[in-house]
Amino acid sequence: MPRRRQAVTIKHVAADAGVSLQTVSRVINAEPNVREEMRERVQASIDRLGYIPSIAAQRMSGSRSYLILALNDRDRTLEAWRARQGSDWVDQMLLGGMLKCAEHGYRMLFELVDTHDDHVERELAATLASLQPDGVILTPPHSDNPLITGFLQSRRVPFARIGSKGKNGGIPIVMGDEDAAREATQRLIALGHRRIGFIAGSKEYSLSDWRKAGWLGAMKEAGLPVDGLCLRGDFSYDSGLAAARALLELSPRPTAIIASNDQMALAALDAAAQMDIAVPAALSIVSFDNTPVTTFANPPLTAIDQPIAETVSCAVELLIAESRGEELLARPVNIPARLIERASTGPVPVAG
């Protein structure tokens, strides 16, 4: 049988160039304390041998690990994967994070952590000890979990907090939730709607109240009633169905509903169908997140597009900058969302 070609390692480069492993590592990491003659010598060996630097080689200098760790909530992620309902939050995280990491010679690792586990600090300690990441990206609800943020602070691990205003450390990054909800409400008002219901998300997430605040602010600015028009779900389809039915049983019922995520918006769409309320002729529906399911709904859902990939990409960039000792300015960083109009919204129905 033909022999497999042996992979070229940092040891081969060091032997070929006649230098130490540490010198090769310093050249790979573009560190300043290497003479130009030595740098050229090592680079010539790298080119001649066809060596491709590995993370292990990059880590030999001891200053950086070249790893960014992203944490997502275990229960909610597994539930979404098993349900196969078209949520692409994790896909968008990986898209934005992995591409940005690759630009800087980093790798992004993805881990699931149970935010409700009393032993979350122990779990994090084991993860950090084995990976030694240069930075950690927290997603909701981890972003505002004091056990997690406090632990990372105590270990002096840089971390970015998506969906948090970061009152207790870290790099806070928001996605314009309040402004987006305000814009969606104002758009419905411009279409003539005066009774606009709102299905809020779980209080466990700070962004739930930011979205509610955007709706509430726009309604009050327009002098429109809000009493009884806001009900709370927990981002699940069932909670959205119950809230939508309750709103549509009001008299007079709302002519438009904004739901705080796609699953609750789909539930509102189904509730309307079950009650023979035509969308958008008799009821307009706006969603949050803009996952793939919104385009396959009937009718396709008007949705606020959450810039998840762009936000995680920004988090990676900021964490790498912080690991290099660069000064970060404005906080929280705001990556604005945008409203995408589709067939689920239209003018207020004309009383017949």
Q: What is the pLDDT of residues 169-200, one digit of tens each?
A: 899 999 999 999 999 999 999 999 999 999 99
Residue 2, pLDDT above cutoff 50: no
- With cut-offs at 50, 70 and 90, classify the pLDDT of residue 57: low
Each residue's pLDDT tens digit, 265-318:
999 999 999 999 999 999 999 999 999 999 999 999 999 999 999 999 999 999
Better pLDDT: 122 or 1? 122
Going by pLDDT thresholds of 50, 70 and 90, the confidence category of residue 330 is low
Q: Would you place residue 17 in the very low, low, confident or very high pLDDT band (cuts 50, 70, 90)?
A: very high
pLDDT at position 56 is 56
Of the two residues 65 and 296, the one the predictor is more confident about is: 296
Show the tokens assigned to 232: 């709370």
Q: What is the token pair recorded at 293?
A: 């399911």
- Alpha carbon distance 264, 239 (integer Å): 7
Give the pLDDT confidence score for residue 110 in this predicted structure.
94
Is the pLDDT reported for residue 352 higher than 80?
no
Where would I find the beta strands (DSSP E) of the chain? 67-73, 107-113, 135-138, 159-162, 171-174, 196-200, 230-232, 256-259, 284-289, 302-305, 333-334, 338-340
- Report DSSP letters for 48-79, one per residue: HHT----HHHHHTTSS---EEEEEEEHHHHHH
Terminal-to-terminal C-alpha distance of the chain = 84
Instruction: Write down the pLDDT at residue 168.
Output: 75
Residue 329 has pLDDT above 70, yes or no: no
CB-count exposure of residue 5 (10 Å: 0-12, 13-18, 19+): exposed
Coil, strand or helix at 130: helix
Residue 224 has pLDDT above 50, yes or no: yes
Tell me what the mean pLDDT of segment 37-51 comes to.
88
Beta bridge partners of 196: 256
Predicted confidence band at 34 (pLDDT cuts at 50, 70, 90)? confident
Lowest mean pLDDT among 13-17, 39-43, 210-214, 347-351: 347-351
Q: Out of 20-29, 37-46, 104-113, 313-322, pick the least confident.
A: 20-29
Give the pLDDT confidence score for residue 322 in this predicted structure.
87
User: Which of the four pLDDT bands, split at 50, 70 and 90, describes residue 99?
Assistant: very high
DSSP state at residue 332: S
Is the confidence at residue 55, as pLDDT, over 70?
A: no
Angle at 283 between CA 286 and CA 175, to 5 degrees: 10
* 83 or 192, higher pLDDT: 192
Q: Enumerate domains of the chain plus CATH numbers.
A: 10-59 (1.10.260.40), 67-175+308-337 (3.40.50.2300), 177-305 (3.40.50.2300)
Q: Is the pLDDT of residue 142 over 80?
A: yes
